[in-house]
Amino acid sequence: MSDEPITIYHNPRCSKSRQTLALLEDAGISPRVIEYLDHPPTAEELATLANQLDMQPGEFIRSKEAAYNQLIPPAGDRSPAELLAAMAANPILIERPIVVRGNRAVLGRPPENVHQLL
């Protein structure tokens, strides 16, 4: 197991986020917890997360949120940079949880994805 610290972008109201945090704690890990709705990442930080996830912004945006449907122009017509800016401005749009270790990250959907970082 790596000695690198783990960070979780966490929403305590989300069951998947709570389950992912519990998996980490059950593995004996005390991650750095960022409640991203209260402390949203910048567009630049989200770009770094996109690289660590090996995903495009459109792959980790919550398309079922009301804020997504209110984007003008619609999300499908936006560039990756515009999607990152929209997520930074409306952090509810960020898929959760995101778990980071070193230069790698995974989405905790399903929560067991976190095992890839342990």
Catalytic residue ranges: 14
Measured in whole angstroms, the distance separating CA 76 from the mean position of its chain's CA atoms is: 20
* Residue 14 tokens, joined: 């989300």
Q: How far apart are alpha carbons 35 and 56 in whole angstroms? A: 22
Reply yes or no: is the peptide bond before residue 12 cis, omega within 30 of 0. no
Backbone angles phi, psi at 45, to 5 degrees: -65, -40
Cα Rg, the chain, nearest whole Å: 14
SS3 29: coil
